[in-house]
Amino acid sequence: MPLSEPAAREKLHTRTVTCEGFRRADGLWDIEGHMTDVKSYGFDNSWRGRVEPGEPLHGMWLRITIDDDYTIRAAEAFTEYSPYEVCGAIAPNFKALEGLTIGPGFTRKVKELLGGTRGCTHLVELLGPMATTAYQTLVGQRRKKPEAPAQDAPPRKPWHIDTCHALASDGPIVKKDWPDFYTGR
């Protein structure tokens, strides 16, 4: 185990998040997210009755279809398991994602459209790892067909520089891979 040895403990809850990226035959991309919450103990629920150990309390799905520019062309949500009957009724609101572009300001815009009572907190949270999955899905494919820069146009700073410790503009990776944008000494 890469973490230190934990104190004596009892496992009570597991949240599982799975995100997958797919290339579609029509040239678009599907990014699917699925999250489940399960307890290690049974409990009574006012809507569902008894929820047994290992049975999902939450089970939610979200699919976004994006283009090469990370613009969401379609969005679909589904609630398979929830603690309240009304939870699944919010799924159609996630069509509001259509037209948004995954990039700077995406999380803020999602919260404006689907935050609070306009959405489901679990599905909104799922969009974070789905956005990262979208990038990871397309990045390798986009490298296969590099864009030709406009004649005499200055090079554009790659958007991902300064988005994390490893890609700091004054760090060794940027110095090696994007020297034009290196800001160190």
Quote the pTM value.
0.85
> What distance in Å separates the CA atoms of residue 96 and residue 148, rounded to the nearest whole number?
33
pLDDT at 167: 92
Assigned token pair, 58: 């939450």
Positions in the chain short of pLDDT 70? 1, 142-150
> Pick from 107, 114, 115: which is nearest to 131 by CA?
107
> What contacts 2, CB < 8 A, 6 or more positions away?
none
Residues 82 and 171 grouped into a single domain: no
User: According to the model, what pLDDT value does residue 61 have?
Assistant: 98
- Domain count of the fold of the chain: 2
Q: Are residues 113 and 161 in the same domain?
A: no
Same domain? 171 vs 134: no
Give residue 141's pLDDT. 76
Cα torsion 89, 90, 96, 101 to 10°: value is -130
pLDDT score of 142: 64
Residue 123, exposed/middle/buried by CB under 10 A (0-12, 13-18, 19+)?
A: buried
Q: Which domain holds residue 61?
A: 13-143
Interatomic CA distance for residues 39 and 139, integer angstroms: 36
Judge contact between 113 and 98, C-beta under 8 A: no
